[in-house]
Amino acid sequence: MSERSLMKGNEALAEAAMRAGCKCFFGYPITPQTEISAYLAKKMSANGGLFLQAESEIAAINMVLGAASTGTRCMTSSSSPGISLKSEGISYIAASDLPCVIINVQRGGPGLGGIQPSQADYWQATKGLGHGDFHILVYAPASVQEMVDMAVNAFDKADQYRMPAMILADGLLGQMMEPVTFPEIKPMEYDKSWAASGHKNKREHNIINSLFLTPEVLENSVIERFERYRKIEETETDAEIYLCNDADIVVCAFGATARVAKSAVNLARGKGIKAGLFRPKTLWPFPVNELKDAVKTAKKILSVEMNMGQMIDDIKLATECKIPVSFFGRTGGVIPKPMEILDKIVDLGGDI
């Protein structure tokens, strides 16, 4: 068996990024993602990479824009308010068709909010991380091991589709310790002939740009990008489906909340309630077909989130509003407890 190590979520993510070939990190400190920067500050240069603490989040994301333009695997990480600051740069990166990885270890919001865990950036990540018509890939890990696996995958998918990929973690995952194993990472080769990495007078120079002088040209570039998005929606979805085969109530939860929800589902099964868990691992693209499969026998759906119910609309759209969706959530940095979720499941189970 491969060697097990005990690691903090943030550390594991940083180590996984280096192993995935990330050569540049640009960031600005913020709790609760600090260990990512601290880890890379210690290890990145010994690993042949660059760690740079920028003067601000805005500077950091624009450094990512520059490094990504050269085809170098690069990354930035922050937490909720810091991600908002990066949003203009992320839009530029998406518009320039550049790959990069962005980590958001979410904390309570809105505003400066607080430093305790939250999932209140779901809408921001999946619907509008910046101005203009664009999407980014959004992965939602639920364990320290998934922080590792998804970070590696995010770099590959970002390169494959030439677009930003986000790991949408939260303060709980970032701070908790769990055993992990690092997978054998097979370096994949991607076409980087688009990169502005020096032409040595041997080819036409490449231009990385997000400004268009002619509306029709801009329109065409957006339409072409959306054709790519449609393909991603068909092929890149992923979800965990747990005890849903015969479920009357399917609990939908992502990230750390899904761990709490799973305990509640197990407790409900112990009471004879047919509960199951659906956990989207990709938030964009949302696993529509997987959810349709999971709720085949369900009479009710319960969305459990560390926010005010931001995933409900995606669940309703995926299930074409055919099954009623209830909600239980805590927000502001409060983590739901298994018993609270169980109470809600029992309430819903009463009239089935």
Partner 1 sequence: MDLSEIKKINIITGHYGCGKTNFAVNLALRLSDEAKKVSVVDLDIVNPYFRSADFKELFNRNNIQLAASVYANTNLDIPAITFDIERLSREDGYLIIDVGGDEAGAVALGRYKEIFKTLGDGNIQMLYVINSYRYLLKDPKDCVSLMREIESVSRLKCTALVNNSNLGTETTLKTVSDSLDYADKVSKLTGLSIKFTCVPEGKTLGINGEFPVKRYVKALWE
* Residues making contact with partner 1 (CB under 8 A): 4-8, 11-12, 15, 31-32, 108, 113-116, 171-172, 175-179, 259-260, 262-263, 333, 335, 337-338
Read off the amino acid at residue 3: E
Cβ neighbors of 125 (< 8 A, separation 6 or more) are 104, 136, 138, 166, 168, 283, 284
Residue 176 C-beta: closest distance to partner 1, Å: 6
Question: Which residue number, 15 or 57, has a Cβ lying nearer to partner 1?
Answer: 15
Nearer Cβ to partner 1, position 222 or 335?
A: 335
- Apex CA 113: angle with CA 278 and CA 329, to 5°? 30
- Please tell me the distance from the alpha carbon of residue 138 to that of residue 126, in angstroms, as a whole number: 7
Number of H helices, E strands in the chain: 12, 14
Shortest gap between Cβ of 151 and partner 1 (angstroms)?
15
Least distance to partner 1, CB of residue 142, Å: 10
Element housing 252 (H / E): strand 249-252
Of the pair 267, 346, the CB lying nearest partner 1 is at: 267
Structure tokens at 110: 């809105």
Helices (H), 170-212: 171-175
Nearer to partner 1, 71 or 82 (CB): 82
Let me know the angle formed at the C-alpha of 97 by 92 and 101, rounded to the nearest 5 degrees: 80
Residue 53 or 206 having the CB closest to partner 1: 53
Nearer to partner 1, 165 or 304 (CB): 304
Cis peptide bond prior to 141, omega within 30° of 0: no
What's the closest the beta carbon of residue 37 comes to partner 1, in angstroms? Answer: 13
Q: What is the smallest separation between the CB atom of 86 and partner 1, expressed in angstroms?
A: 21
DSSP state of 170: E
Q: Minimum distance between the CB of residue 26 and partner 1, rounded to whole angstroms?
A: 22
